Amino acid sequence: MGKMENMDYECPHKVAIPPPKPFLQSLMATLKETFFPDDPFRQFRGQPGSRKLVLGLQYFVPILEWAPRYTFDSFKSDLIAGITIASLAVPQGISYAKLASLPAIIGLYSSFVPPLVYAMLGSSRDLAVGTVAVASLLISTMLGKEVSPTEHTKEYVQLVFTATFFAGVFQASLGFLRLGFVVDFLSHATIVGFMGGAATVVCLQQLKGMLGLVRFTHETDLVSVMHSVITQVHEWRWESGVMGCCFLFFLLLTRYLSKKRAAFFWINAMAPLTSVILGSVIVYFSQAERHGVQVIGHLKKGLNPPSITELAFGSPHLMTAIKVGIVTGIIALAEGVAVGRSFATFKNYHIDGNKEMIAFGMMNIAGSCTSCYLTSGPFSRTAVNFNAGCKSAVSNIVMATAVMITLLFLTPLFHYTPLVVLSSIIMAAMLGLIDYEAAIHLFKIDKFDFVVCISSYIGVVFGSVEIGLVTAVVLSLVRVLLSVARPRTFAMGNIPNSMIYRSIDQYPNAQHVPGVLILQIDSPIYFANANYLRERISRWIYEEEDRAKASGENSLQYIVLDLSAVGSIDTSGISMLEETKKNADRRGLKLVIANPRSEVIKKLEKSKFIESLGEEWIYLTVGEAVGACNFMLHTYKQNHAGVTFSAQDCNV
């Protein structure tokens, strides 16, 4: 009777152990969550065979899904947008081809076939397909070390086509195998730093064209470029310098105006083509070509010649081409998917990352067979497409048609286009990629992300593109490993006048519970962090005992582990809990578990840990666990006054 009169603690709820599932069923569920989080097969359920065939075709060829609903009003918008981005695609294509050390005509070829393929297979309505500066730079620096683009032009071009082919195969494979999460290893901080560093390097490379230099270093680092520029002061051409600075100022001014007022985006969009036309006219009438101003020269007419026979699968440099293809393929995917998703949010629609990878892969495979090099979804061109009011991927078809007309009839008009104008176009585009505001934002929010960003930037600018990329990826992976190997643990306290328990660091008003140490583990428990957690929990015990002794509180009696943030545990983690229990027992302490998740409690039950610990020491919430501990402490004191109580009296 005495027991019941003193029992003022309400018994907690029992922690449920989920029913066991067959291994094959669990494996299939895990694979589905890993590779099919969007459940792409949902639309096929309950459909007849003919309908499944149609849905399957629409899934892999999205144009079949939206084309029947396409309207004439949408076409009018896409026509304007397509012509607008074509005016940007022609000078950019020529410029980036020169940046990749390729014949200028290949840049135009690359804006014809790939956009047509993407229009059929891509899921973005706004992405404008074309060559990108960073990939062009990577191709030039990585392949240029193996084969000279000036001395062995044909072999170099063949290797570029081969690298593009393997980039496409790699991209499409990621999409078909649903491995899009691989691209996620390139963090936002990595991309910001890498793109900024690559943009700086590209700008430095354009000093060759701006100063009219004939000979220039093949290295991309800042020291080599500046040494090449300074040691050739006597060969600088003032004519090129003046023309380049004027056109660069014009391009930057138009960008500034377009940012000030959105209605002026037309001026910015037309500025590159205007520069090309104006520069060609100036060179033609002033005969500046005779005064050291270099021009593009002859561009042959005609559409893309097939290049499938040019793929150099038997080349001694094949492994280099494969490596370049994979590296550039990842960078192109990261940029293209990120750009597509960014603009999709503005119009409130979703793009499928795996479909995008398949589309990018197929357009690069097709491009490598039709004299094109690597293409993606450049931000500048996509932004112009978006601002011009595009409604669908038809704008890419219009752009490709405009480029086709240029290839068939207008290529002779580019004979007198000065290279310095192309350098100005590239520099103006690249300056927009140096996102210092994003770096400042990273510094304010996350110092480690800022270190990753700056390391990537410094690695690219002072080392090489490969060094910068590898440095940033390694630092990002180190951060992931550190977060897994050194998870956070928090001492928790009671928020006054409540049953809520929170981190004492986050809530200074949270109060320690006398005689009870409450710890939260903020990570899954794996082999990589099990030893650390065992040692860290021991340290928490030492520190709590010292604190209780210094403050004159009750000595430590209970250790409550809040496992609410522990999504999974392996055998090493279970061993860690067993050793922690033994350590607690040796010290005369009792280990209590609160809020174990389903996967965790299932493994603890199978490993007999629950049997060893005692089912009565596992609670649904921290509040119930602490309430039970306080009740035991209270009962213990009363036992010395003649009242007895055991944990089994509370039916848990």
pLDDT per residue as tens digits for the range 334-346: 878 878 877 786 7
Q: How far apart are CA 173 and CA 362, in angstroms?
A: 10
Question: Are residues 470 and 556 both part of a single domain?
Answer: no
Predicted confidence (pLDDT) at residue 645 exceeds the cutoff of 70: no
Task: Give domain status of residue 61, yes or no.
Answer: no
Q: How far apart are CA 140 and CA 131, in angstroms?
A: 13
Residue where one domain finishes, among candidates 416, 449, 479: 479
- pLDDT-derived band at 176 (thresholds 50, 70, 90) equals confident
Q: How far apart are CA 120 and CA 115, in angstroms?
A: 9
pLDDT per residue as tens digits for the range 464-510: 777 887 887 788 788 888 888 888 999 999 999 888 899 999 999 99
Residue where one domain finishes, among candidates 479, 505, 538: 479
- pLDDT-derived band at 648 (thresholds 50, 70, 90) equals very low
Question: Are residues 380 and 513 both part of a single domain?
Answer: no
Question: Are residues 291 and 205 both part of a single domain?
Answer: yes
- pLDDT-derived band at 637 (thresholds 50, 70, 90) equals low
Question: Are residues 497 and 457 both part of a single domain?
Answer: no
Domains: count for the chain:
2
Q: What is the enclosing helix (H) or strand (E) of 153?
A: helix 153-176
User: Which residues make beta-bridge pairs with 511?
Assistant: 494
Predicted confidence (pLDDT) at residue 5 exceeds the cutoff of 50: no
Task: Give domain status of residue 51, yes or no.
Answer: no
Question: Are residues 326 and 456 both part of a single domain?
Answer: yes
**Whole-number percent of the chain with pLDDT over 70:** 92
Task: Give domain status of residue 143, yes or no.
Answer: yes
Question: Are residues 380 and 524 both part of a single domain?
Answer: no
Tell me what pLDDT residue 37 has. Answer: 67
Residue 296 burial by Cβ neighbours in a 10 Å radius (0-12, 13-18, 19+): buried
Question: Are residues 522 and 612 both part of a single domain?
Answer: yes
Predicted confidence (pLDDT) at residue 30 exceeds the cutoff of 80: no
Task: Give domain status of residue 116, yes or no.
Answer: yes
Q: What is the enclosing helix (H) or strand (E) of 517?
A: strand 516-521
CB atoms within 10 A of CB 125: 22
Tell me what pLDDT residue 651 has. Answer: 38
Which residues neighbour 230 within 8 Å (Cβ) at sequence distance 6 or greater?
A: none
Question: Are residues 311 and 433 both part of a single domain?
Answer: yes
Q: Which residue has the higher pLDDT, 372 or 51?
A: 372
Tell me what pLDDT residue 7 has. Answer: 44
Question: Are residues 466 and 513 both part of a single domain?
Answer: no
pLDDT per residue as tens digits for the range 261-306: 766 767 777 788 888 888 888 888 887 777 667 777 778 888 899 9
Question: Are residues 499 and 638 both part of a single domain?
Answer: yes
> How would you classify the pairing of strands 501-503 and 558-562?
unpaired
Question: Are residues 350 and 419 both part of a single domain?
Answer: yes
The whole domain housing 553 covers 487-650
> How would you classify the pairing of strands 489-494 and 501-503?
antiparallel
Q: What is the enclosing helix (H) or strand (E) of 81?
A: helix 72-99
Question: Are residues 208 and 236 both part of a single domain?
Answer: yes
- CATH assignment of the domain containing 495: 3.30.750.24
Q: How far apart are CA 502 and CA 208, in angstroms?
A: 61
Task: Give domain status of residue 60, yes or no.
Answer: no
Residue where one domain finishes, among candidates 479, 499, 521: 479
